[in-house]
Amino acid sequence: MDKHFPEDLKYTKEHEWCRIEGDVATVGITWHAQDALGDIVHCELPGVGETVSAGESFGTVESTKAVSDLYAPLTGEVTERNDDVLEAPENLNDDMYDDGWLIKVKMSNPAEVDALLTRDDYQKFLDELED
């Protein structure tokens, strides 16, 4: 199971991940999220310059099964958006951690990172969901 959840990332209970580099967080969906959704066919993301707020919806991802909201793990300004996933959302099923990132956020409150889950905490959370 570890290969599905890189140790260097932070996670949310809404199944997003963050890669923290300085004051910028790269955000995407976890292996668990794409696995539960199935074949992803559409994605909506905020534009560069828009603000996202921790715990608030910042977009949607749609699969052949359902439409799911994406929740911002951190508060800040969107500095980059991955247009490749808008053009080819099915790639999120294959590579959700590297080429399949969604947005990059310049954090306005880096202390919010402390509220995110480690890989081990996220795996425990998933184990509890399955019980």
pLDDT average, residue stretch 18-35: 97
CB-CB contact of 71 with 55 (8 Å): yes
pLDDT band at 1 (very low <50, low <70, confident <90, very high): very low
Domains contained in the chain, CATH given: 11-124 (2.40.50.100)
pLDDT by residue (tens digit) across 66-95? 999 999 999 999 999 999 999 999 999 999
pTM of the model as a whole: 0.95
Residues contacting 51, CB < 8 A, separation 6+ = 75, 76, 77, 78
